[in-house]
């Protein structure tokens, strides 16, 4: 039987391309549950992100600076190896809908098999955020729709600037 560590460190991994208010809700709630929360961007260039890892880290730092126990980082490779290196005992994941659960459940079981001392904790998305995804936000703003209230204002500004630059380069 293992004992609870003196301080519980959790990793909240994701692509955060870009961070949404749904992500921010989980960060706020996770910061209350854990002694230290590391919001960490998975380096996965196969997804062709809109923003570089460095830009995503800047956006995250901008919106989490008021949480003293939250830090921002990035990693590549297996999440459980990264978590173990950070002495984390928890992986925090969000569930927006039942459709998220199956994939998250499979990943949690594989992570447990690879690193039994690391637990996965699921938080259900708040009702106001249950439909928000980074992909949907990028699609809506790309088609000229409003994303007010879906992302932090600083992120909305960056998205608009990025899309305007892309549009002017395609002219």
CA 171 to CA 85: how far, in whole Å? 47
Q: Is residue 5 scored above 90 in pLDDT?
A: no
Q: Smallest Cα–Cα separation from 122: which of 1, 12, 35, 47?
A: 12
CA 101 to CA 30: how far, in whole Å? 19
Point out the catalytic residue in the list 7, 43, 47, 81. Answer: 47
- For the entire predicted model, the pTM comes to 0.91
CA 116 to CA 129: how far, in whole Å? 31
Radius of gyration for the alpha carbons in the chain, expressed in angstroms and rounded: 17
Point out the catalytic residue in the list 96, 130, 133, 162. Answer: 96
- Catalytic, 47? Answer yes
- Give the single-character DSSP code of 125: P
- Catalytic, 23? Answer yes
Spatial CB neighbours of 53, under 8 Å, sequence gap ≥ 6: 41, 43, 74
pLDDT tens, residue by residue, 85-135:
999 999 999 998 777 788 899 999 999 999 999 999 999 988 888 888 899
Provide the pLDDT for residue 1. 60
Point out the catalytic residue in the list 23, 93, 129, 158. Answer: 23
Reading the block at residue 88, the tokens are 């984390």
- Contact predicate 156/148, CB 8 Å: yes
Domain 9-131, CATH homologous superfamily name and number: HUPs (3.40.50.620)
Point out the catalytic residue in the list 15, 31, 40, 134. Answer: 134
């Amino acid at each position: 039987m293992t004992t609870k560590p003196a301080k519980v460190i959790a990793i909240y991994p994701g692509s955060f391309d870009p961070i949404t208010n749904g992500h921010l809700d989980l960060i706020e709630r996770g910061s209350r549950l854990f002694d230290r929360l590391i919001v960490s961007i998975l380096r996965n260039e196969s997804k062709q992100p809109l923003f570089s890892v460095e830009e995503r880290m800047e956006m995250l730092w901008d919106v989490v600076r008021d949480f003293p126990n939250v830090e921002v980082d990035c990693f590549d490779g297996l999440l459980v190896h990264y978590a173990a290196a950070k002495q984390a005992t928890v992986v925090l994941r969000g569930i927006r809908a039942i459709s998220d659960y199956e994939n998250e459940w499979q990943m949690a079981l594989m992570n447990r098999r690879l690193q039994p001392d690391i637990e996965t904790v699921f938080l259900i998305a708040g009702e106001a955020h249950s439909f928000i995804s980074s992909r949907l936000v990028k699609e809506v703003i790309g088609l000229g729709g409003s994303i007010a209230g879906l992302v932090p204002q600083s992120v909305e500004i960056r998205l608009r600037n990025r899309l305007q630059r892309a549009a002017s380069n395609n002219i």
